[in-house]
Amino acid sequence: MPLDPGRVRPRAASRWWGAVTVMSVGFALLAAGIATPWEPLLDVDTTVATEAYERVIGHSGTITMLRVVAAAASPEVFRLLLLGAAVFLIRRRALRLCLWVVVTIVVEAALAVGLKRVFDRSRPLWDDPITTVGGFSFPSGHAAGGGMFAVTAVLLAVTTMQRSRLRSAVCALAVAAGVAAGLDRVLLGVHYVSDVVAGWLLGAAVVSAAWVLVVRPAIWTPPTLTERPGPQPSRFAVIANPLRVADMPAFRHSVVAAAGRWGWEPPLWLETEADDNGIGMAEQALLADVQMVLVVGGDGTVRVVCSELARTGVAVGVVPLGTGNLLARNLGLPLNPADAVEVALSGQDRAVDVVEVTGDDLTETCFTVMAGLGLDAAIMAGAPDQLKARMGWPAYVVSALRQLRHPATWVEVSVDGSPPVRRKVRTVVIGNVGSLQARIPLLPDALIDDGRLDVVVIAPQHTVGWLRLALRVLRRTRRTDERLDRMTGRRVSIQADKPLLRQLDGDPVGEGRELNAEVLAGTLLVRVPR
């Protein structure tokens, strides 16, 4: 089946950036060796070029074949093929994938031409050249185009093709074409091997970087109307927070139109009220026997509706219109409302965990993302609605800077009934997912469907300590100590010596000394990209 971004782990993006870094470093090393110049590299280039030339020169049939390959595997041909794929993606309404392909083509072409002029490296010189080519040598434009084409085609095949044999064949042909485009240049005697390797690295790095920046994590590729697997959809309900939707009539019209395109009946339309943020609406939807509920609003509305629908078997589609939108971000759901509606109506159900939470003066409820006690909750409470509306999630950064002197408090943390660990902390966070906004890996091992909770206890001593902890988090350091401790289990209990602010999925829920959480594994169905 095609790639299901809803199942992409939170660590996936960092792996892509790691691959981009490796390829970029490899290119940089080759470039430095050419610019220096570094004699061992030049010796390898000369040896390989001479060996290839001597094996080809005088063999007219081989030379003809190599020239055909050079024409068929030129950068221009690769770019035209990918532009054709972009047109196809537009017709499939996969606009983000189309944008990624176009950006890749433009950036690769600009870098391949520009870098040749920067390095100004002459091509191999032969008394009797096999073929004559003008311009500079480093990096190889054919190899860069081949690397770009191979990686792009493989990602498109994995993302959009359902038939495994066809997908495997396309991937194999794409890789073979990319490899042939580079080796052909060495055998024709117009490039050194370092030129070709640098070209492959350049093309692949451009594709990978563009993939992370443009496509992930909100990739979706809806199937065509004739490819709907399984039973046909029926009726669904919409629970919308009117304060979050700028133009409710226009949005409602777009949802009804999308429902018609995907074969759903017109939805049951429900809107939250000042004294009911979704509980009553979820109950109405269940009584109406709908197959899916599309929740439209911020993190609070999403949390309430998900809490009511857990353990019911009714799926939830999410149109994230909040400040953090952490559930959507960690599940790889689109943040664009129109795309999110399409995913909910055309996607598939994924079973995820929810977390039941209790505490003093706290009504029994659930959360899907994170709960916090102490500084974490103070940051949420300290970000006013006006600032969030103007800045988005960076408003939490502003609030955090204001809260750096938040006092430490003694707490006891117990996991799965074990003897409590006593710490003097600034904050304790219980996570059902791992990443904050900007993909900050606060809980790098947390997964939304692993049936476990991850806890982080944060206790810096001073401002410099905050900087050190921030670096440890960003580096995904596994080392724990009294300043940054992590635990995992199915049940978590936190007891504080004095009342502290608490939050659930970004919503302040008042002060208290107690916060208890238990994971309910796989009890919520969320619509994710197919």
111, two tokens = 């870098």
Residue ranges per structural domain of the chain? 5-215, 226-346, 362-518
The DSSP line for 238-283 is: EEE-TTT-S-HHHHHHHHHHHHHHTTPPPPEEEE-BTTBSSHHHHH
Rg of the chain on CA atoms, in Å: 28
Residue 397 belongs to what H/E stretch?
Answer: helix 394-402
Instruction: Please report the sign of the dihedral spanned by the C-alpha atoms of residue 11, residue 14, residue 18, residue 19.
Output: positive
Length of the chain as a residue count: 530
Closest residue by Cα to residue 519 from 449, 419, 427, 458:
449
Q: What is the DSSP letter of 135?
A: S
Q: How far is CA 416 from the centre of its chain?
A: 32
Share of the chain above pLDDT 90, in %: 24
Q: Are 117 and 176 in contact (CB under 8 A)?
A: no
Cis peptide bond N-terminal to 217, omega within 30? yes
Closest to 392 (Cα-Cα) out of 476, 473, 458, 329: 329
Which residues, in sequence order, are bridge partners of residue 425?
409
Mean pLDDT (whole number) for 380-394: 65
Contact 328, 335 (CB under 8 A): yes
Q: With contact defined as beta carbons under 8 Å apart, do 514 and 306 qualify?
A: no
Amino acid in the structure at residue 117: R
Average pLDDT over the chain, rounded to whole? 82
pTM: 0.54
Q: What is the pLDDT of residue 89?
A: 79
Task: Count the alpha carbons within 13 Å of 8 in the hemisphere toward its beta carbon.
Answer: 30
d(CA 357, CA 503): 11
CATH 3.40.50.10330 holds for 226-346: yes
Among the listed residues 436, 415, 417, the one whose alpha carbon sits nearest the alpha carbon of residue 485:
415
Question: What pLDDT score was predicted for residue 231?
Answer: 45
Decide which of 352 and 21 is more confident: 352
C-alpha separations of 511 from 15, 362, 398, 515 in Å: 39, 9, 22, 10
pLDDT of 26: 87
What's the rounded Cα separation, in Å, for the pair 239 and 252? 11
pLDDT exceeds cutoff 90 at 294: yes
**CATH fold match for the domains 5-215 and 226-346:** no
Q: CB count, 10 Å around CB of 356?
A: 17
3-class state of residue 93 by DSSP: coil
pLDDT tens for each residue of 461-506: 666 666 666 676 666 666 666 678 889 999 999 999 999 989 888 8
| CATH tag, 5-215 | 1.20.144
Q: Quick one: pLDDT at residue 505?
A: 85
**208-248 confidence digits (pLDDT tens):** 888 877 765 433 333 333 344 444 568 899 999 998 888 89
Q: pLDDT-derived band of residue 400, with 50, 70 and 90 as boundaries? A: low
Cα-based angle 250, 256, 258 (whole degrees, multiple of 5): 100
Peptide bond before residue 384 is cis, with ω within 30 degrees of 0: no
Does residue 191 register a pLDDT over 70?
A: yes
Residue 268 has pLDDT above 50, yes or no: yes
Q: Using one digit for the tens of pLDDT, what is the confidence trace for 315-341?
A: 999 999 887 788 888 888 998 899 999
* Averaged pLDDT for residues 15-25: 78
The string of pLDDT tens digits covering residues 107-116 is 888 988 888 8
- The β-bridge partners of 350 are 526
Average pLDDT over residues 283-290: 89
**What b/e sequence results for 185-210 when a residue is b if at least 16 CB atoms lie within 10 Å of its CB, and e otherwise?**
bbbbbbbbbbbbbbbbbbbbbbbbbb
Beta carbons of 391 and 350 less than 8 angstroms apart: no
Residue 323's nearest CA partner among 417, 397, 421, 404 is 397
Residue 255 pLDDT: 94
User: 60-72 vs 39-56: helix axis angle to the nearest 10?
Assistant: 120
CB count within 10 Å of CB 310 equals 22
Percent of the residues in the chain that have a pLDDT greater than 70, as a whole number: 82
- Neighbour-count burial of 383, counting CB atoms closer than 10 A to its CB (0-12 exposed, 13-18 middle, 19+ buried): buried
Burial class for 114, CB neighbours closer than 10 Å (0-12, 13-18, 19+): exposed
Q: Would you say 212 and 16 are in contact if contact means Cβ atoms under 8 Å apart?
A: yes
H runs (alpha helix) in 262-374: 279-287, 299-309, 326-331, 337-346
CATH 3.30.70.60 corresponds to the domain 362-518: no
Q: Residue 100 burial (CB < 10 Å; 0-12/13-18/19+)?
A: buried
Helices 164-187, 60-72: inter-axial angle, 10-degree rounding: 120
- Band of the pLDDT at 163, cuts 50, 70, 90? low
Helix (H, G, I), strand (E, B) or coil at 290: coil
CB-CB contact of 233 with 111 (8 Å): no
Of the candidate ranges 73-87, 107-121, 126-140, 394-408, the one whose mean pLDDT is the lowest: 394-408
Q: What is the largest CA-CA distance in the chain?
A: 89
Q: Is the pLDDT of residue 88 over 90?
A: no
pLDDT-based confidence at residue 53 (cuts at 50, 70, 90) = confident
Give, as one character, the DSSP assignment of residue 128.
S
